[in-house]
Amino acid sequence: MGRKIVVALGGNAILSKDASAAAQQKALLETAEQLVKFIENGDQLIISHGNGPQVGNLLLQQAAGSTEDNPAMPLDTAVAMTQGSIGYWMQNAMNRVLKEKGIKKTVATVVTQVEVSADDPAFEKPTKPIGPFMSKAEADLAKKENPDFTFVEDAGRGYRRVVPSPKPIGVVETDAVKSLVDAGIVPISVGGGGIPVVSNGNQLLGREAVIDKDFASEKLAELVGADALIILTAVPNIYVNFNQPDQKKLEQVSVAELETYIGQNQFAPGSMLPKVEAAIDFVKATGNQAVVTALDNIEGFVQNGSGTVITEKVGIRN
């Protein structure tokens, strides 16, 4: 068995403007064609994914159709529902590409609960954007129709609903994921950051929140003993002075260098910052490498290591 790799895929890579099932399935088929390159390279793959656009859309659909006899489901259940739907599409896409390439490999979705602390201060301050971008008028109307929702302007791109985003402290189904990996099966896990739950005696209780998928993927990678954490985003590298005349891409970078850049506010909160922080957490916890790159650069990474590779010290390659 080759390297054990957790690959974290953003929810926006599955859904852009067209929210139809057909469009999302098409996007996932294109994604699968890239992800299979890891398997062709001999790597043992564990896939995670975001669900921000999907869960936000589902909540709006439920709110619009909610009645006393058929009430909308709570947020933790909506996360589970989108875990299932995206996992279903993803495993079908992966299975199709694997069969076309003559690779005998099974892909299976694990509906995953991720434990958070009931005392996490994030519950008092919603920050995680979910759902579609809206104009100010659309957000005002959505707020009027859903008084309990909170909407904020998101990075100059429009308004989105925000919900609490507590940090993960454990992955309940870790042993199930390990068993699948040991059997040579490709698991799809911690979808949408996992279903947020808190421990209460012998019970796990769902919470109204969405866990950042990068932090959940890091926690999973740490717990399953992954050799690498690969976070896929819209750009092939992390940049400093992004979109400025002196923009510089980072290729080989140490944890200490990234922490310096964080202190300089180089990375946008809610965008690149959580990816960088999750990568740092993984490298510190395991000593193994983390990579941030684009989906369409997977072949470049597999063939020549392109992308931003984060290690404890510059020049160390795992």
Active site residue 307: no
- Provide the pLDDT for residue 157: 82
Confidence of residue 259 (pLDDT cuts 50, 70, 90): very high
- Calculate mean pLDDT across residues 179-201: 97
Among 10, 51, 87, 213, the active-site one is: 213
DSSP notation for 118-172: TT-GGGGS--EEEEEEE-HHHHHHHHHH-TT-EEEE-TTS-EEEEE--PPEEEET
Q: What percent of the chain has pLDDT over 90?
A: 78
Q: What CATH number corresponds to the domain at position 12?
A: 3.40.1160.10
The pair of structure tokens assigned to 3 is 């390297």
Residue 12: per-residue pLDDT: 66
How many of the other CB atoms lie within 10 Å of CB of 10?
Answer: 20
Is 316 contained in some domain?
no
Q: 1 falls in which pLDDT band (50, 70, 90)?
A: low
Tokens of 89: 């599409």
DSSP per residue, 194-257: -EEEEEETTEEEE-S----HHHHHHHHHHHHT-SEEEEEESSSSEEESTTSTT-EEESEEEHHH
Grade residue 37 by pLDDT with cuts at 50, 70 and 90: very high
Together in a domain, 49 and 181: yes
- Hunting for tokens 């694997």 — which residue is that? 98
pLDDT given at position 313: 82
The single residue of 12, 41, 92, 297 carrying the catalytic annotation is 12
Q: Helix, strand, coil % (nearest 5) of the chain?
A: 40, 25, 35
Extract the tokens encoding 110: 């694990």
Give me the mean pLDDT over the 121-129 stretch: 89
- Would residue 215 count as lying in a domain? yes
Given a cut of 60, is residue 318 above it in pLDDT? no
Are residues 197 and 256 located together in one domain of the fold?
A: yes
> Is 87 strand, coil or helix?
helix
Q: Verify that 97 and 191 share a domain, yes or no.
A: yes
Mean pLDDT of 211-221: 97
Question: 14, 34 in Cβ contact below 8 A?
Answer: no
Does 285 lie in the same domain as 159?
A: no
Assess whether pLDDT exceeds 90 at residue 145. no
The average pLDDT across 217-234 equals: 97
Among residues 50, 52, 87, 128, which one is catalytic? 128
Determine which one of 219, 275, 288, 307 is catalytic: 275
Mean pLDDT value of segment 116-143: 90
In this structure, are 227 and 299 located in the same domain? yes
Tokens of 162: 């925000």
List the single range of 19-33, 58-72, 83-97, 223-237 with lowest mean pLDDT: 58-72
14-23, 62-71, 228-237, 305-314: the lowest-pLDDT one = 14-23
Asked if residue 56 has pLDDT above 70, the reply is yes
Going across the sheet that includes 228-233, the strands are 107-109, 186-188, 44-49, 4-9, 228-233, 289-294, 308-311, 252-254
The active-site residue, picked from 4, 10, 11, 219, is: 11
pLDDT given for residue 225 in this prediction: 97
Is residue 143 part of the annotated active site? The answer reads no
Residue 83, pLDDT > 70, answer yes
Residues 66 and 148 in one domain: no
More confident residue, 304 or 12: 304
Statement to judge: residues 62 and 134 lie in one domain: no
The whole-model pTM stands at: 0.90
Identify whether residues 147 and 63 lie together within a single domain.
no
Average pLDDT, the chain: 92
Q: Do residues 74 and 32 lie in contact, with contact meaning Cβ atoms separated by under 8 Å?
A: no
Catalytic residue list contains 65: no
* 12 assigned to active site: yes
List the domain range (segments joined by +) for residue 147. 126-163
Residues 254 and 299 reside in one and the same domain: yes
Catalytic residue flag (residue 275): yes
Provide mean pLDDT across the span 181-203: 96
Q: What is the pLDDT of residue 316?
A: 45
Assess whether pLDDT exceeds 90 at residue 148. Answer: no
For residues 206 and 304, state if they share a domain.
yes
In this prediction, residue 317 carries a pLDDT of 46
CA pair distance 94, 156, nearest whole angstrom:
35
Decide if 100 is inside a domain.
yes
